[in-house]
Structure 1
Amino acid sequence: MKRLFLTALPLLICCVAFAQPDPNVAGMGKNPPEAEGIQPINFSWDTPANAARSFMGALISSNELYLSIAVAGAHYGYYGDEEWVDILRNAYPFNTAQNLKVDDIIVDESTEEEATVTVSAHRESRNGQGRPVPAGERITYTLRLRHEANPLPFPPEIKKIWRVVPLSTEEVLAKSFHTLPPLSLAATLSLRDPRLLPIIRQQSAIGQLKQLGLGAMQFVQDYDEIYAFDDAAHDRALLPYVKSKSLFIIASTKDAKWHFNDNLSKTSLAAINEPARTVLFYDGSALDSEHLNFRFDDKTLICFADGHVSALTKDKLKDILWKP
């Protein structure tokens, strides 16, 4: 009997752990402190509405274990290397979900096997005590769900659960990230299809450059419209404006940095005649088009002085300017 109990103990522990709310998930319990005042999330997949709410809870908290349960076709557990962890934390659709507060979930259509729900939510900001403060307009999202085999080894009596249907990999590859519904895209990324990595890396890098461009614009507005920094110090100069050191390291690399165009150092905005063609940030080793890196599908990413970002092939470089 003792041997039987010891054999079954790991499964019992697993079941208990699954049944209890994770105190580290945002909105569950009072740990961490910033979660105070947020209603606990009860994870359940027995109805389309409950499954949609559970998916939203997992998405908002970037909890990869619960996402692996909530998304149709996903395998229960932890998969992929650390790059996927960063993707699930920082990619566009997950950033979109951060600070969302679900107001309502309405089941629009439902059969025994499929359902469509509308999720209504609004964004919350945080006050100095870490408590949520309602902010922003109401947003609605549509989710498709499917009733499919329970991926969990427990409890054995539950044969099927409702799970969110992701976009297909082909759909994601065919369009720009920002034209796709963010929640469905997040569901797709949680499947960790390696075919998506190249486009995810490029989109993440584009997002970094856009934030650096915006940070540089805010900086010069505070410094008499002058780029009062150089490449060697641009990270220190812009950190108060972009808030994250990770933005200075090119997405999917360990230590490759974005570079500031030193030709613009000490230059005023008024002196830049064609900002839409003038390089602001780039990926390369020298101040010319001959030393750029083409790490994203044989394209190099450049942020221009007007703030827009382009992915350029070598034949397009003749149109860019390095000097004001």
Structure 2
Amino acid sequence: MTLSEGTGLAVPGAATEPPGGAAQKRSWAGESGESVARNLVLVGVLVALIVIGAITQPQLYSDSTWVWNNMVSILQLASVVGVVTVGMTFVIIGGGIDLSVGAIVALAGVWCTTLATQSYGTVGMIFTAIVVAVSVGLINGVLISYGRLVPFIATLAMLVSARGLAAAISGKQTQISANTFINSLASDRVLGVPLLVYILAVVAVAGWVLLNRTTFGRRTVAVGGNPEAARLAGIDVKLHTMLLYGLSGLCCGIAAIMLTSQATSAQAAMGNLYELDAIAAAIIGGTLLSGGRGTIVGSILGVLIFATITNLFAINGLSTEAQNMVKGGIIVAAVLVQQFRFKSVTQFFARNRATTTS
């Protein structure tokens, strides 16, 4: 009997100490150090973007009040996508992908702003948004885990279906939110910071704890890294995968309330392309598309980088088309760097193990 990698579960019939175990531990330590280094690089990119803004618009950055308000605007811009990205990060680490998150946000937002739902007040609206989003996420998980559909196909089908259902419920009309509490989430501030930013912070911290300090997080990494090994370690891979999509749905439900608060309304087109923004932010943050590795901190930094780029283009009066081209280039560059860098790191530790053994 031995403990499986990162799960804390025993695998029957396995050796007590696998060959190269000490070297493997050193490899893990190296990957942890690489995550810290990557996050520092992302922080450096953020600082560089701010410097570029100060150089291109010195008259704006010379006003301290404007600088503070601009930083708050960037954080608020990143808040909704940031919450969706936390859920997406778990799904990708677990070896999946979710193309339906934007549609789930729209469906949850439309459903919770119907007149019937609003009649139940704040609790009714929040409860509806969460239940609808989690239910749709679990349906994704069931189709993928037990229906054996490819995640890309299952969530793509859900994207179309959820958008269609949202349009049918709303009659293709914008539904106004009359709830004072929900509408105030985007306008009220504590210590000068919008409540939406605090919600993002709470979700990010909860996601970090769940991923790094719980069995659920360790199992997520194990399932994404090697599903068969995770199964042999006693993990119910199908159930865990379903729960990951349910978690993504939970984040979408929270994001739906936040986005409804920003617009004081909901419609079937809300949350458009959020899936691409969330996937891109996770990739920029170092999450492997193949699964098994990723960090919540890196993903949030990725969201902030894209929000800062959007803000930088806006204050310089540049077109949205140019902004999208730059974002696309950044995504491609991040994937290429991720692939080659991960290979080089793996080879580096392999050489270290060989040198230590000899």
Give TM class, smaller chain.
under 0.3
Higher RCO structure, 1 or 2 (CA under 8 Å, sep 6+): 2
Higher helix share: 2
* TM-score normalised over the length of structure 1: 0.24
* TM-score normalised over the length of structure 2: 0.23
